[in-house]
Structure 1
């Protein structure tokens, strides 16, 4: 379920069924008071647990702290491009969360913002994001794709206890913690695809990857490059399929490549 930005203008705030899923169209109101085991201000716990999709509407600039904490059945989060900040624990313990499309203008992700999102497998950080707080994605057990810009300042233990950390050279077998070498881990995350042999992975993971760039790399490296795994076992194909910012379809790239090789494209 991916909503195009121009569609959002006709949505009004509230909770209702949309495309077969109970959806919250969020306008920035405060939904949860304080920290810890505090009670929701507006929606009771039963209602919060009924939400499957959260759509952050245009005009919202900040997702407040604890806004969607413990919304355990939310599977999809889509953000309008007005969002600039995600605060402390905003989506923590959303244990069913599988797909997140962040704002293109996002600048800041707070401490533990997506911690304990057990079902999240990938996250693509937009290029304007300058800071990610401590433990932002900690204990996202299935997280194996973490694409982050070079300039982004990363806090401590951003991906502790994730599948990516378990597959990394820094896995010490101590519950995925790595306080003693945070700087090395953060540099490794940013440079993981720096090797030229993973140029296709890098292209597929880019913010809004260009189809012609991907096709050019495939022509030089061969069609097998699409299925070649990187150092932690993720293929270029998986990057492309998981990337929420691309409109490029894998099957169309394959079709174009094959027809071109057969000389049927001019």
Structure 2
């Protein structure tokens, strides 16, 4: 999936390669075209208003400017084809039911800047299987049932953790906290510290390089284990899913440490290339560039080796002939 930024008047729908794009300005009563499939939130926008994209059933991707601080209630309610969302690095609050009913949403990475998550934000997302939450958030600022009726909620139930209702059908405060403690993995966020690094909005090449130097190249092939659930992902899978990660980070030392990692498939049959194509296109292009350079370098080394071997054979033959001539 390629993303193209709108040019000219940002309030107009732009057709690029037959794909409709729309730049959202956050204006009062802004009318979103019904057939838009890709949204670019303008850098001037600080608040995505309530119901801004509610029921826009053709939206597939949203690229959010880093000035956005608040996503109000039901902003993307029942965007049933929304698959890719890049949240703002400055985001502080996600409103009630903001992404409720997004049926194609599989991955949701919330940046560490978020301080408040209201209830039901990801309720009724039937494909949601991978969720990264800000591990330092105060659990008192997280609403109830944020992943109700999702596969993750089923995983929790299998682990013996679930929401409990009082006689009025309201989730009890105790069960809500217990569920969130499991979900946020407060005691041990990730099996590997590098997992936490990979999901950071400001992850750097130096952090990854330091970790690999300390733990060895084999650490690049470690499989993930989040919330007690193994997805069969390597660390490169996770970096490729991080839409905030710079291209050099995605295709940096982690790739060099294990070039084959780019072709490994997770439990869903997806490679890091597949995830980068959806969530981090600059990272994808950088990975391809490095793979091409690696192939060229390998081919060059092979030629040099073959030429060196041929030269060595000729030199041996020349010496042999000279010795024969001396004997004669």
TM-score w.r.t. the length of structure 1 is 0.78
CA RMSD of aligned residues (A): 3.1
Q: Within 5 Å, give how 1:67-82 maps onto structure 2.
A: 67-82=52-67
CA contact (8 A) 2:191 2:224 kept: no
Q: Which structure shows the higher helix fraction?
A: 2
1:114-157 superposed Cα distances (whole Å, 9 cap, x missing partner): 01111111222222221111001111122222222222521001
Please state whether the residue corresponding to 1:197 is helix, strand or coil. coil
| Corresponding residue number in structure 1 for 2:230 | 233
In 2, the alpha carbon distance for the partners of 1:69 and 1:26 equals: 14
CA contact (8 A) 1:204 1:240 kept: yes
Give, in angstroms, the shift of residue 71 of structure 1: 1.0
1:155 equivalent to 2:143? Answer yes
| Corresponding residue number in structure 1 for 2:182 | 188
1:179 equivalent to 2:165? Answer no
CA contact (8 A) 1:218 1:226 kept: no
| Corresponding residue number in structure 2 for 1:203 | 197
1:23-72 superposed Cα distances (whole Å, 9 cap, x missing partner): 111111245xxxxxxxxx845xxx41x11111111211211111101111
Give, in angstroms, the shift of residue 198 of structure 1: 1.9
CA contact (8 A) 1:157 1:178 kept: no
**Deviation larger for 145-154 or 193-202:** 193-202
1:132 equivalent to 2:117? Answer yes
Please state whether the residue corresponding to 2:39 is helix, strand or coil. strand
1:168-215 superposed Cα distances (whole Å, 9 cap, x missing partner): 3256599xx993421112222322682663212111112222223223
**Deviation larger for 103-112 or 241-250:** 241-250
Give, in angstroms, the shift of residue 237 of structure 1: 3.3
CA contact (8 A) 2:103 2:127 kept: yes
Please state whether the residue corresponding to 2:181 is helix, strand or coil. helix
| Corresponding residue number in structure 2 for 1:244 | 243
| Corresponding residue number in structure 2 for 1:16 | 14
1:62-103 superposed Cα distances (whole Å, 9 cap, x missing partner): 111111011112111011122111111000111111111111
Aligned residues: 242
Give, in angstroms, the shift of residue 238 of structure 1: 3.1
In 1, the alpha carbon distance for the partners of 2:160 and 2:75 equals: 28
Please state whether the residue corresponding to 2:194 is helix, strand or coil. helix
In 2, the alpha carbon distance for the partners of 1:171 and 1:188 equals: 8
TM-score w.r.t. the length of structure 2 is 0.65
| Corresponding residue number in structure 1 for 2:257 | 257
Change (3 A) 1:200 1:2: farther
In 2, the alpha carbon distance for the partners of 1:173 and 1:126 equals: 25
Unaligned ranges ≥5, structure 2: 260-328
In 2, the alpha carbon distance for the partners of 1:20 and 1:223 equals: 44
CA contact (8 A) 2:199 2:238 kept: yes
**Deviation larger for 239-248 or 11-20:** 11-20
Of 25, 28, 33 in structure 2, the residue corresponding to residue 27 of structure 1 is 25
**Deviation larger for 150-159 or 105-114:** 150-159
CA contact (8 A) 1:75 1:96 kept: yes
| Corresponding residue number in structure 2 for 1:262 | none
